[in-house]
């Protein structure tokens, strides 16, 4: 996110920045003393990998506007791509999430290698990817067991894999652990432990979040689309407001962020969130939980929309009543929730961005990678999303839905018969109290 701001600067500013960076680095070298005065090779100036076609089209403009156009065009390209894959459906979305996760993991691990000069530890690259596989296997296994329950029960090998899933995952992880211990080489202990730690923290950040995103997705595509859109919107709006009205710096860590951008972004994101939710809540494609249909072996999004997505009347507080002259307003309850989501995106999301900026400064890199021309690596685009995914998941679990019914049935059927009977009786008593069961049942 800081990138957005730094790159928008003029040519002169760019050069000035470079020399500033170098200057501060030299100072840093003298002062940092104890901490990191290692002579890290200067990051090579980002290779210009803008596609040729764009280059030709923009050859006439000055460097500053060229940069602006490149970023603008790629932003539009990414947003269109986003809409396209939404259209393609949940399956494709899941695969894209998986790919993004793998790319982010690769980017961060590559940084680790270059920081620690550990290219010459061949085992370690294998081990990092192996751990990624293990953790993904564990998480996907849990997801598959939850959502594809009937499919799993049908196929015998899947049933066994699912029953002993934790044990198998643990055994796979242990194998990796033992390989790590056996691969410890006398002169490189510290390096190897650093890379081990680096890999695990990366897994913790990248992989768990991507699985939370998939959980959100299964809850309903709207829980996937709206948070991501809010974060993107906040990015863009904060940039715009900062560009036009920016005056007071926000935080030393990202010198180009301003309070005006922050506050302006906050309000515009909330408004955007409300409008977007209104548009999306009308379609069952977005609103229904994604389910796996056993008969057609496909994902379906068909359901009776829950209360959250049905228009309700809200009476306005008297202040607003006098201003707008309306007594009630029709809203989806989901729009109220979207206010909470957008507030989080605007207030906390930037902290994820500051974290990533601090990380880049700590390890003296300009971008995570050079994948997207004008924007840097995939991680650069996704740094604010991470906190958002966890927040949405926690929000859903706490305020929206209860436990997943099929999971509860699954657990029930795994209990012993006497425990099942006990629960059955408790449930019967509970339902009869609520009047959901005819009293006849009691007599029987």
Please list every residue from 206 through 245 that binds other proteins, using CB under 8 A.
Answer: none
Helical (H) or strand (E) element with 290? none
Nearer to other proteins, 279 or 444 (CB): 444
Two tokens, residue 260: 């005006």
Window 5-44: contact mask with other proteins (x via CB under 8 A): -----------------------x--xxxxxxxxx-----
Report if residue 436 touches other proteins, rule: CB under 8 A.
yes
- For residues 208 and 48, what is the distance between their CA atoms, to the nearest angstrom? 33
Window 276-305: contact mask with other proteins (x via CB under 8 A): ------------------------------
- For residues 120 and 264, what is the distance between their CA atoms, to the nearest angstrom? 49
Min dist. Cβ of residue 204 to other proteins (A): 7
Report if residue 160 touches other proteins, rule: CB under 8 A.
no
Q: Are strands 249-251 and 254-258 parallel, antiparallel or unpaired?
A: antiparallel
Q: Tell me which stretch binds other proteins (CB under 8 A): 121-129, 147-155, 160-168, 236-244.
A: 160-168
Report if residue 434 touches other proteins, rule: CB under 8 A.
yes
Report if residue 412 touches other proteins, rule: CB under 8 A.
yes
Nearer to other proteins, 68 or 395 (CB): 395
List the one residue from 78, 253, 271, 275 that touches other proteins (CB under 8 A).
253
Q: Which DSSP string corresponds to 208-247?
A: HHHHHHHHHHHH-THHHHHHHHHHHHHHHHHHHHHHHH--
Report if residue 115 touches other proteins, rule: CB under 8 A.
yes
Task: Name the packing angle between helices 165-182 and 122-147 (round to 10°).
Answer: 170
Q: How far is CA 310 from the centre of its chain?
A: 27
Min dist. Cβ of residue 208 to other proteins (A): 11
Judged by CB under 8 A, the number of residues near other proteins is 87
Report if residue 133 touches other proteins, rule: CB under 8 A.
no
- What is the chain's Cα-based Rg? 26
Backbone angles phi, psi at 267, to 5 degrees: -65, -40
List the one residue from 76, 133, 275, 427 that touches other proteins (CB under 8 A).
427
Backbone angles phi, psi at 69, to 5 degrees: -65, -40
The answer to whether the CB of 121 falls within 8 A of the CB of 113 is no
- For residues 367 and 381, what is the distance between their CA atoms, to the nearest angstrom? 10
The answer to whether the CB of 357 falls within 8 A of the CB of 396 is no
168-187 residues in contact with other proteins (CB under 8 A) are 170, 174, 177-178, 180-182, 184, 186-187
Report if residue 137 touches other proteins, rule: CB under 8 A.
no
Q: Tell me which stretch binds other proteins (CB under 8 A): 134-142, 148-156, 250-258, 273-281.
A: 250-258
Min dist. Cβ of residue 48 to other proteins (A): 28
Query: In 33-121, where does DSSP find H-type helix?
Result: 52-57, 63-88, 90-116
Min dist. Cβ of residue 221 to other proteins (A): 21
Report if residue 429 touches other proteins, rule: CB under 8 A.
no
Q: Tell me which stretch binds other proteins (CB under 8 A): 128-136, 231-239, 246-254, 290-298.
A: 246-254
- For residues 405 and 43, what is the distance between their CA atoms, to the nearest angstrom? 52
Least Cα distance to 94 among 43, 51, 48, 144 occurs for: 144
Window 355-394: contact mask with other proteins (x via CB under 8 A): x--xx-xxx-----------------------x--xx--x
Nearer to other proteins, 34 or 279 (CB): 34
- Burial of residue 262, with CB atoms counted within 10 A of its CB: 0-12 exposed, 13-18 middle, 19 or more buried: buried
């Amino acid at each position: 996110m800081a990138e957005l701001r730094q790159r928008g600067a003029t040519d002169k500013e760019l050069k000035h920045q470079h020399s500033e960076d170098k200057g501060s680095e030299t100072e840093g070298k003298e002062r940092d003393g104890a901490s990191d005065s290692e002579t890290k090779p200067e990051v090579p100036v980002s290779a210009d990998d803008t596609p040729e076609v764009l280059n030709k089209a923009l050859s006439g403009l000055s460097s500053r506007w060229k940069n602006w156009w490149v970023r603008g065009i790629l932003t539009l390209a990414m947003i269109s791509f986003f809409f396209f894959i939404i259209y393609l459906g949940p399956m494709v979305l899941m695969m894209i999430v998986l790919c993004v996760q793998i790319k982010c993991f690769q980017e961060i691990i590559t940084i680790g290698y270059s920081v620690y000069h550990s290219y010459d530890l061949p085992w370690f690259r294998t081990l990092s990817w192996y751990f990624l596989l293990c953790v993904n296997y564990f998480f996907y296994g849990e997801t598959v067991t939850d959502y594809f329950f009937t499919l799993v029960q049908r196929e015998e090998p899947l049933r066994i894999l699912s029953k002993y899933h934790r044990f198998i995952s643990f055994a796979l992880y242990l194998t990796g652990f033992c390989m790590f211990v056996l691969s410890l080489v006398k002169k490189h202990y510290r390096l190897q432990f650093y890379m081990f730690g680096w890999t695990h923290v990366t897994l913790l950040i990248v992989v768990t979040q991507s699985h939370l995103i998939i959980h959100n997705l299964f809850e309903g595509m709207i829980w996937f689309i709206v948070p991501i859109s809010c974060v993107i919107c906040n990015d863009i709006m904060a940039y715009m407001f900062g560009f036009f009205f920016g005056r007071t710096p926000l935080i030393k860590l990202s010198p180009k962020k301003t309070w005006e951008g922050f506050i302006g972004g906050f309000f515009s994101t909330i408004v955007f969130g409300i409008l977007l939710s209104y548009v999306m809540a009308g379609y069952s494609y977005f609103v229904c939980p994604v389910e796996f249909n056993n008969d057609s072996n496909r994902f379906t999004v068909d359901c009776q929309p829950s209360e959250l997505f049905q228009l309700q009347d809200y009476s306005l507080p008297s202040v607003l009543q006098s201003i707008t002259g309306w007594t009630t307003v029709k809203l989806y309850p989901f729009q109220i929730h979207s206010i909470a989501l957008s507030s989080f995106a605007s207030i906390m999301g930037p902290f994820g961005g500051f974290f990533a900026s601090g990380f880049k400064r700590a390890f003296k890199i300009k971008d995570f990678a050079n994948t997207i021309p004008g924007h840097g690596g995939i991680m650069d685009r996704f740094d604010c999303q991470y906190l958002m995914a966890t927040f949405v998941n926690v929000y859903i679990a706490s305020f929206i839905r209860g436990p997943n019914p099929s999971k509860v049935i699954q657990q029930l059927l795994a209990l012993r018969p006497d425990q099942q009977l006990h629960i059955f009786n408790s449930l019967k008593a509970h339902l009869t109290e609520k009047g959901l069961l005819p009293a006849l049942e009691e007599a029987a």
